Structure 1
């Protein structure tokens, strides 16, 4: 049985809920992480945190001159097994700036105890900036995975978010032949939805090979930039990326921002292209260059 981990000072109700869950499903993780960011003394600071189970953060960093707070989200088990539930919630107060990332890939293992879920909720206050840039998600053959992200933005807020999905383990010759991947992304600004995307992909689906879908490629990524945007932002991204991809890279400028996509053979290539795009968008829309988290170089 996995040990029960609770935040210091957890309420009796939280303890009771967690114990009931573990009694019913002793082989699964129930993990929650909630973070609150706000401006204090000229910098964005992690003002409060709450966690239940194996989701924690390292000490925040402030590598940028404008006081942007960089935080690494840690999931010590390293993978998500059948029946596991990960719940992440982030609140970025007005005028605050935060960059959130992970030190390594999220792995959804073969499911033997039901569906595995990861839910992320991000609230961004007026004129605040949240950049949610996790490492890739690897979906093992046989996984039953559900990934849900919901972002709410107030007036003048900026959100940058990306995700990379790798089906199976191509380097080991493993394909995604069984199981199911579900992914849902929704972005709401001032109470109105401005971006919605939903994917349901069964293992072994013909979509994996269809030229109008994944075209036999194991990896895809989506990067969404929402906020104040330069008129030529998409063109600047194209110039920054150039013709460096073995896979397919596209960029589109929409009414509310810019969307970049990657489809190709390697996550590393997709991330390299998205970092260039992020830098171009930051420079043209925020007036500062990208500052890649140090953990990406380890």
Structure 2
């Protein structure tokens, strides 16, 4: 099936989603949800009673050239939200216009965010710019991952042409903890050893015990995986060939780290079990 998206004009969907979480006496609630265009959320779930589990819905059918999407998430003091998605994000082949996805997260002191989106699939010929920025305080808690799939490996389809600019930032009290860029052009994947899967996992605050535990769980990913700990930010980076292995390792690490980060047992989002 041809996966070319039909672009009738340069300027596509202009979509915005602004989420604000706050803590009440007994639980975290979605205090405000404002959206424009094809970005929205489902009704919050409370499988843990106090933590707000929320599913973010991307545009139906995926993102095409000319689309511009902006997601903003804010958490007040002592609030705790877990956000994931029912399915993978998709950037389709573009005839020229660039597609943009910008995501900004702001955590107050003692706020906890678990940002666990499904993978983002970039079809051959996509022209995509992605940016994810996390603003923390010294007393915030963050667990997040950024999972990119270049092409569709299950169909033996590679990212043989196209452009990707991916930027990931973590700031604490206005100072940068991490600023990383990945730029791929013309289907040249030599900078990532021609692997279709590229991932980064973040955990703050972390310690040496958490770092060693993560390293022990990286074995299934082989030689192209490693973890570092700088200024209490644990950063895991990997390249991989197998989606099932990636999912298994990421969830295993989340289940290991979550009790250490939040003092809460792992409770899998319902959508992961369907």
Task: Report the TM-score, using the length of structure 2 for normalisation.
Answer: 0.91
CA–CA separation in structure 1 for the residues paired with 2:94 and 2:255: 37
Runs of at least 5 residues in structure 1 that lack an aligned partner in the other structure: 1-23
SS in 2 for 1:232: helix
SS in 1 for 2:244: helix
Query: 14, 31, 38: which one pairs with 2:22?
Result: 38
SS in 2 for 1:79: coil
Query: Structure 2 matches for 1:99-138, cutoff 5 A?
Result: 99-112=82-95, 114-138=97-121
Where does residue 280 of structure 1 map in the other structure?
Answer: 256
Alpha-carbon RMSD: 1.8
- By relative contact order (CA 8 Å, sep 6+), the higher-ranking structure is 2
Where does residue 245 of structure 1 map in the other structure?
Answer: 221
Measured after TM superposition, the shift of residue 27 of structure 1 is: 6.6
Matching of residue 49 in structure 1 with residue 27 in structure 2: no
Query: 209, 214, 228: which one pairs with 1:232?
Result: 209
Bigger Rg, structure 1 or 2: 1
Where does residue 167 of structure 1 map in the other structure?
Answer: 150
Alpha-carbon contact 1:247-1:264 (below 8 Å) kept: no
CA–CA separation in structure 1 for the residues paired with 2:210 and 2:136: 20
SS in 2 for 1:80: coil
- Runs of 4 or more, structure 1, over 6 Å off, are none
**Structure 1's 244 and 26: CA in aligned 2 closer, same or farther, altered over 3 A?**
closer
Alpha-carbon contact 1:141-1:177 (below 8 Å) kept: yes
Matching of residue 144 in structure 1 with residue 92 in structure 2: no
Measured after TM superposition, the shift of residue 191 of structure 1 is: 0.9
